[in-house]
Structure 1
Amino acid sequence: MSINERRSLWRRAKPYLAVFDPPLMLIILMLLGTSLVTLYSASIGIPGKIEDHLRNIVLCFFVMWVTANVTPQMMMRIAVPAYTISVLLLIAVALFGTIKLGARRWLHVGVIDIQPSEFLKIAAPLMLAWFFQHNAGALRWKSFAFAAVLLLAPVYLIARQPDLGTSLLVVAAGFTVIFLAGLPWRIMLGLAIAISCYLPIAWSHMHDYQRDRVMMLIDPTKDPLGKGFHIIQSIIGIGSGGITGKGWTHGTQAHLDFVPERTTDFIFAVYSEEFGLVGNLILMLMYLLLVGRGLMIAANAPSFFTRLLAGAITMIFFTYAFVNMGMVSGILPVVGVPLPFLSYGGTALITLGVATGILMSIQRHRKLVQT
C-alpha cells in the first residue's frame, strides 16, 4: 500500500475515530483515574473489583465512541422508539420482574438481568427534547402539560419498584428539558405550591424504609446502632480525613468495614477519609469542570433539540454528584445514587458513557445541524 493510499485511508477513517471532545475527555480521564486509585483502596480484601472496573471502563469508552458517532438527526429518529421500548420494559418489570432485596427492578433476559429504569435516564430527556423540537413554534400550556405526562408516567413506574434514586435522576433530567423549553415562572410557582401541599400525602404513601431514611437524616443518633449506624460512620469517615487526609490506603473507617457499600454508593466517604478536605476540593473542581463543559456545549448547540438534550445530560452529571455527596455527608436522605465516574458499577458507568457520547456528538456535529 502506497503512502498516499495510507493517508487516504486515515482521512476516511478519521471522522469516525477522532470523535472525542478533548476538554471533556480530559475531565473524564481525571475522574476515572481518581476512581481507580480510590477503588483500589476501598476494595482491599475484595478480589476482582479492580479487574471488573477496568472492564467496565473499556465498555464505557466503547459505548461513548459509538454514541459520539450517532448524529443528532439520528437521535431524533430513535427518540420515540427508545422511549416507547423503555416504558414497555418498565411495565414488563412491574408484571414479571425479578425481586432482589425487596425491590422489583430487574428483568431477566436470557442469562442476564437488566434494569430498564437505567434506560430512562437517557430515553426520557431524549423524548422530551424531540417533543419540544417538533412543537417549537406552538408551545402552549397544554404542551407543557403533555410533556409532564411523558415524564411522570415512567417516573411513577420506577418509584413503584421502588427506586427513589433513579426516579429522582429521571425527574431532574426531564424537568431540565421542560424548564429550558420555556416553562413559565407562574407555572413553576404553582408546581412548587402543589408539591408543598402534597408532601403530607406523599409521606403517608412512602415505604417504611423510606420514612426511616428521612428520620435518620434529621437525627441519625436516635438509632446509632441500627438505622443510623451507616450514615454516622460515613460522616465520621469524612470528618476524620481532616485537611489533607490519612493517606492512600490508610483509611480506617473503610478498611475496618464501618463504611457501608464502600466501593459503590459510599465511595466518597473512603475518598474523603484518605485525601481530606484538599482532595474533596480537587474532586469538586473536576465535577464543576465537567458541568461547565456540558453547559458550554449546550450553549453552543445549533438547534433547539440539541440545546435541550445537552442541558439535560449536564443536569444528570450535576444531580449524580450533588445527591451522592449530599447523602454520604448526611445532608440528604440515602437514595442509592452512585458518584459519577467514581463509583464501582457497570450499568451506571455505561449509562454515563452514553450520556457523555451524546454531548460529544452534539459538539462534533454542531456545524452540520441546521437550526
Structure 2
Amino acid sequence: METKLQIDITKTSKSKLQETDFDNLVFGKTISDHMFVADFKKGEWTDFRIEPYAPLSLNPANATLHYGQSVFEGMKAYKNDEGDILLFRADANQKRLNESAVRMCIPEVPEELFMEGLMQLLDLDRDWIPNKPGYSLYIRPFIFATDDYLGIRPSENYKFMIFTCPVGHYYSKPVTVKVEQKYTRAAEGGTGAAKAAGNYAGSLYPALLAQKEGYDQLIWTDGKTHQNIEESGTMNLMFMINNTLITAPTNKGTILKGITRDSVLKLAKEMGYPVEERFLTVQELEKALIENSIQEAFGTGTAATIAHIAKIHLNGVDYELSSKSPDSFSIQVLETLDKIKYGKVEDNRGWIIKL
C-alpha cells in the first residue's frame, strides 16, 4: 500500500485471532489486535503510530474524565467475495467527526491523517474483517482531551485514536420503543448534532427506565414542547405513512446527521418514494397508529443499519405494527445497502473506498 504519512507500526507479538469465535460475536466486546494513535501537542497533530491494542494510562486529573471533552464516530468495513476491503462512506464520517470536534472545542483531524491512519490499520488487521453476510468490522475513531488540569477550559492537548472490532447484528430482532415525553436528549443551541460522549451519558437513565418497562429504546421528542418526534437512542427514525417517508430534519441542531439516514433518503428518492424531512408531531403519530396508517417504522444507523420497529408505546398504549412484508421499503433499502457495502453491485454513487 502506498503511504503518504510516516506512521510507525509495532505489531502485536500474539494475535487474538485464533481464540476468537467469529460465529458468536457480541457487538463491541471483541477488539482487534491493533489501534492507531496520534497526539495533538503544541498546536499540531504528531507522533503517528499503530501499536498493539492495550489499556491507556491516564492521570486522575485528565480533563476528559471531569469535563467530557470527547467526540467519536462509528463506521464499518466489509469484505467482498474477492477479499477486498470495502469502506462505506468513510469521507462522510471524517467530516462529521470534525463537525463534532468544532462544537466541542477540539482540534480537527486532517482528512489525510484520518484516512491514512484508518487504511493502514485496516490493512494490518484485514483478517479481522468477517467474510460472511450480515457481519462487518466496526470502526471506532475518537478524540479526547489529555490535559492533566482541573480548570474549566478547552484542553491544549488531545489524543486521536482508532480501534476496530468484528461484529454481527446490533439488533437480532425488531425493536420495541417508547415515546419519551418527560426527559430530554437535546435542545436547540445544545450539542445534539455532535457525536459527543456526554450526549449518550445523559440519555442512559431515561433509556434504562424504559428498558425496565420492557422496551428496547426510546423515541425522543423535542426538549421544548415534547410534541415533535426527533430520534431514537442509537439511530435516526423513519416512518412510512401513506407511502410517504417521513423523518425529522437535521437543521435544528438537535439531531445527529446520520450517514445511514442520508443514504436511505437518497435511495428512497431514487426509488421514487416521496420524502418529507419534517417533524412528525406526537399527535400525528398517535392518529396514524390509531388509524393503522403507518405502513412501517424503522431506525437507521451504522450499528443498527436498518432496525425494524415492532411496537410503539405512546400515552399509555402499546401499538403493534404490522409485520414487515418482503416488498416493504425498509427491506428493499436494506438489501440495496447490503449489496453496495459487500460489493455485490457496482458503486455508482462514490460511497465505497476499496483497499
Is the TM-score greater than 0.5? Answer: no
Task: Please give the TM-score of this superposition, normalised by the length of structure 2.
Answer: 0.30
TM-score by length of 1: 0.29
Q: Which has the higher helix share?
A: 1
Which structure shows the bigger proportion of residues in strand conformation?
2
Higher relative contact order (CA 8 A, sep 6+): 1
